[in-house]
Amino acid sequence: MNDKEFEIFVEANVGLPGQGPGDNELTKRALLSMQDIPHQPDILDVGCGSGMQTLELARNLDCEITAVDIFQQFLDDLTIRAEKENLSHKIKTLKKSMFELDFEPESFDIIWAEGSIYIYGFEKGLKDWSKFLKKGGYFAITECSWLTDQISSEPQKYWNENYPTMKTVNENLEIIKNQGFETINHFTLPVSAWENYYNPLKLNLSKIAEKYGKEADKVIEEQYFEMGLYNKYSNEYGYEFYIIRKLL
């Protein structure tokens, strides 16, 4: 994907509820898995995008959320939505790369990363970001994971090209354990969570096609291929929600 195609891809994701599979009930389910969190927790939302999960956390907690993303367009979406719901006092946006996080050690009670840690690397993210998490604090992460050991050649080829380090759920659980964390809960996001992302994306892709013409063809083709692949092989891979705790 060249620079122009990447620009088009990002624009196709502007204005969406989120930039990956998920929904408010799943975010809340993950949150309810956490026990003994402080009354007013400090939360870091890494790769927050337009903040669907950020807003749900703010609705359910008396908290302070630092929402980090590298794209100002997504942060602007989040800011507007937070203002409409009178949640701005709970959310601070920060335009910053996840590769340049420099918070004080043990600054946060919860680190949230829905659909974003793959950019950094699942194992590396747990290792590097754990220093920002207080002892007894929680990670809540969705990670694209193989759901079976019997993988068809088509999704295997696609993900080998696009996310070669993708692991099975059991392999990720072993990584979590080896990193010194306790798995509190984990569950697979349902097909409906992917539809929540893909259906609005289709509408945006139509607008992108009108605006950019042939310049957008490759981006649109790749997005529709990914949608079709998931629809065909949703029993073989998906997003797994991992709720894990930093041991005392």
In a domain, 40, yes or no: yes
The answer to whether residue 43 scores a pLDDT higher than 90 is yes
Domain that holds residue 75: 25-191+236-246
Mean pLDDT of the chain: 96
The answer to whether residue 205 scores a pLDDT higher than 90 is yes
In a domain, 92, yes or no: yes
Domain count along the chain: 1
In a domain, 217, yes or no: no
The answer to whether residue 4 scores a pLDDT higher than 90 is no
Q: Please state the rounded mean pLDDT for residues 166-181.
A: 97
* pLDDT value, residue 168: 98
In a domain, 112, yes or no: yes
In a domain, 10, yes or no: no
Burial class (CB in 10 A: 0-12, 13-18, 19+), 194: buried
Q: DSSP E strands: which ranges in the chain? A: 42-46, 64-69, 91-95, 108-114, 133-146, 181-188, 237-246
- Residue 3 pLDDT class (50, 70, 90 cuts): confident
* pLDDT value, residue 1: 73
In a domain, 231, yes or no: no
Question: pLDDT tens digit string along 87-97?
Answer: 999 999 999 99
- Residue 85 pLDDT class (50, 70, 90 cuts): very high
Answer whether 194's CB lies under 8 Å from 230's CB: yes
In a domain, 15, yes or no: no
Residue the block writes with tokens 């207080």: 134
Question: pLDDT tens digit string along 6-41?
Answer: 999 999 999 999 999 999 999 999 999 999 999 999
Rounded Cα distance between 202 and 198, Å, is 6
**Would strands 133-146 and 42-46 be described as parallel, antiparallel, or unpaired?**
unpaired
- Residue 143 pLDDT class (50, 70, 90 cuts): very high
* pLDDT value, residue 40: 96
CATH number of the domain at 145, please: 3.40.50.150
* pLDDT value, residue 234: 97
Q: Please state the rounded mean pLDDT for residues 77-82.
A: 97
In a domain, 212, yes or no: no
Report the percent of the chain where pLDDT is more than 90: 96
* pLDDT value, residue 2: 82
